[in-house]
Structure 1
């Protein structure tokens, strides 16, 4: 059964107005931040890692509903997952969570949290850096 576009719009607004895992961790194992200079969205993400699993995740940022909602959704997706499962997450997972078509102009907003996540893992030496996300779309 396919959910209606209205359902997904409400779901996005709910994550935007009441973001899950919003805030910072006092001493995170991984901290990463980035921004989208085209629209001004900003995001930082903190992860706590224990025994190869993400045990806590927090994010803070400001920007449009798409960027902030996708960060909230991604934070729920990765909590409790193994590092390998987190590394495997990609753009299709974000698009599926958002549930609505995203225009090329809005894709950088939608994928900002994913870029911050993967950059943090790369900085921590847990993932090979990927420059694909920095290319113009």
Structure 2
């Protein structure tokens, strides 16, 4: 696929975010921000059995942070929690499909960090599983 396709795909997720909003009574809730650029993100999950039944995110920020949250929400909806826990930075970069500069990686990985922290706070994941900070 061409770089133009991925740029348009990112802009589409930014302008038309999937699963945007809040859930009434989530089983998992987490929020965080990137103080360097001002991106803010919160994520809610409803877990039924061992699957993510519903996911919503809300926030504001640059196209990369908001598009990656939208893409991540599509990746995890309906998936087994075990598979969601295994998602890492390479999965986010692959979904974005274009090279991300070192300065923008915090933007790209904000939703993943919020997801893993929420799962850890809910007791579904070890707190240190994928909570490393980017340099």
Counterpart Cα distance in 2 of 1:107 and 1:136: 7
* 5+ long unaligned stretches in structure 1: none
The equivalent residue for 1:78 is 76
Counterpart Cα distance in 1 of 2:58 and 2:47: 18
Equivalent position SS for 1:76: helix
Equivalent position SS for 2:53: strand
* 5+ long unaligned stretches in structure 2: none
Q: CA deviation at 1:134?
A: 4.6
When residues 117 and 110 of structure 1 are mapped into structure 2, their CA distance, relative to the original with a 3 A threshold, is same
The equivalent residue for 1:25 is 23
TM-score (normalizing by structure 1): 0.96
TM-score (normalizing by structure 2): 0.97
Q: What does residue range 1-137 of structure 1 map to in structure 2 within 5 Å?
A: 3-130=1-128, 133-137=131-135
Q: CA deviation at 1:131?
A: 7.5
Counterpart Cα distance in 2 of 1:131 and 1:35: 19
Provide the aligned C-alpha RMSD in A: 1.1
Equivalent position SS for 2:52: strand
